[in-house]
Structures are given as C-alpha cells and as structure tokens.
Structure 1
C-alpha cells in the first residue's frame, strides 16, 4: 500500500502516492552512487601516477566572468598548493562519508560547496548550464533534504546515542 506525501507548493496542494520502501531504496542508491563518484574522484587524484594539479584548470577558469577575480588568486603559489590538496582530500572525505552514511548532511553541504564552485567557474559552459556539475549539486541537495544517512547508514546509529539525544541540534549535521 503506497504512502501519501502531502505538501503545499506555492499555495497549491501537491500529493504523491509512493511506496515508502521505494523512496528508501532510491535514497540509499543515490547516496552510494554519489559517494562512489566522489570517493573515486578524490582517491584517484591521490593515487595517480602524477600529482593532482589544478593550475591548468584555474588558469583558464572563469576568464571574462565575474568569478575571475575570485579564482585568479588561487591559480599559483601557496593558494594553488592548498587547492591541490583540498580538492582531492575533500572529494575523498565527502565520498567516504556518503558511502558509510556518516555525517551525510555535512558531507553533502561540502559537496554542494564544491559543486557551486565548479558550476560557477565552468569555462563558457561548453555543455550548457545544465551539466554534470549542476546535476551533482542537485544530488547533494537531495541527500540533505532526505536525510540520506539515516537510510542504512551510520548516521542512524549515531543519532540513537545519548549525546545526540541530549543535543538535538547535532542531527542537522547527521542524516
């Protein structure tokens, strides 16, 4: 028997009839696939034959756009070294968090930040504004909204601890 989900969208009633187990399976699969995507992207940058170097991308990123002034300082020197460490480290940790279902909302928040960065400096939007970066952004937002770490993830276990029950604000970082 399907569950009914009711919502109000811009003053109009919207309802879905959806078996809740389908939503749980979808949420779990989305978390695993995006987690693997990011974990793989990060770990291969660490383990690759050549060191990860964002300088080529940053050199041409956002040229002629409003973002050029934001990106240009990171294209060389110490800021570039920081970017070269933080991109693979961030991708690896975000992916790992999603794969095991721990701190999923926090990992997804940082995934959103990376994807916003990638979307806004995408050179000329060669594939249009609707591209894999924007889709990744939407996937991360979806996991935040659905609390994807609670579905077969470690977040469900952590949320049952006394610490989280005594400090309910911590649930915003989990799930």
Structure 2
C-alpha cells in the first residue's frame, strides 16, 4: 500500500531504513488527534497573542544572553542570537507572530503540516535553550515537539479542519492535491 492511498480502516504502517512498523488505531483516535491539534493550537495562539499585546514589547535578548544554561549544546548559538542586534530584532517579531500564526493554523486546520513543522522546530529550540537533563533527556519541550510531529504525521488538519476542503478543491475535474501532490507536505 502506498502512502497516497486512502485507508478506510484504522490500520497503518510505515517503513524507514528497512524497518516496518504496523499499528491499528482505536476508533476514537481521530478525536484524540483532533484534541492534540486544538490543544497545541490554543497554547501557541495564546502564547503569541500574550506577547503581541503585552505592555512591553517582546524581546528574547535577555533570556538568550543570560538564562540559557551553559551546559546546553547550543549555548554559544543562543548567546550569538541574543547579542546580534539584527537577529534579536528578527526574533522579537518571529517568535510572537510565529506562535500566533502556528496556533491559528492549527486551530483552523489550515496548512497544518507546515504549521506543525514550525511548531516542532520552535519546541526543539526551546528544548535546547531550556536545557536541563537533571531528570533525563525528556522534558515538556521535547514532549510537545513530538506532539507537533504527531499532529503532522496523522494529517490532523483533515479532521474537522479546513485542509480537508482545501485538498479537495476542484480544479476542472482534478482536486488540488491531485494536481499538486507536494502540497501534501503542507496540508493535512
């Protein structure tokens, strides 16, 4: 079975590097995937919105230059980011607006895979900037990164989301996703 075939059962499989895994999801799985999408969408929307409307303009400079643990594998990168004026200015816009737009995309189910990728990237950066392995390598930032990746992998935007309609948009007898299959990396 190829990944382009629609499955009407709750069975799935994937092969990576010669290893195949198979699974059968519970009939309630779609609801849980939807809940994960909406949870992360709401959390990111709120995080971005609260930074945008805050009394003081958002800045990551102080955090990046003073709060990132020296033990972080990316400590030098974060110090550079916080001490490089133009990059700090980019972050002052990219972080709050990125959070807000990722959240909005997940809530509405539009460009879900694209938004989930960037959400996972942000969580990966938060993971390294909040580096603390005192209780192991897995923390909340890492777990949220995996939630974003699950949202993308399961095509959560097709579950009560606008991606389902966007993909099926008729372009003269052919759906948008049939004409442009690479949009499957952004939608779904």
Provide TM-score, normalisation by structure 2.
0.81
Instruction: Name the structure 1 match of 2:145.
Output: 137
Counterpart-to-counterpart distance in 1, 2:95 and 2:128: 16
Which of 165, 173, 178 is the aligned partner of 1:157? 165
Gaps of 5+ in 2: 1-8
Q: Which moved more, 1:38-47 or 1:53-62?
A: 53-62
Counterpart-to-counterpart distance in 2, 1:31 and 1:118: 19
Instruction: Name the structure 1 match of 2:33.
Output: 27
Three-state SS of the structure 1 residue aligned to 2:36 is: helix
Counterpart-to-counterpart distance in 1, 2:165 and 2:159: 10
Greater fraction helix: 1
Instruction: Name the structure 2 match of 1:49.
Output: 55
Instruction: Name the structure 1 match of 2:113.
Output: 105
Say yes or no: does 1:69 pair with 2:82.
no
Q: What displacement does 1:84 show?
A: 1.3
Gaps of 5+ in 1: none
Provide TM-score, normalisation by structure 1.
0.87
Counterpart-to-counterpart distance in 2, 1:90 and 1:43: 10
The answer to whether the Cα contact below 8 Å between 1:36 and 1:95 also exists between their aligned partners in 2 is yes
The answer to whether the Cα contact below 8 Å between 1:61 and 1:121 also exists between their aligned partners in 2 is yes
Which of 154, 167, 170 is the aligned partner of 2:180? 167
Three-state SS of the structure 1 residue aligned to 2:59 is: coil
1:97-132 Cα deviation digits (max 9, x unpaired): 000000000000001111111112214346643222
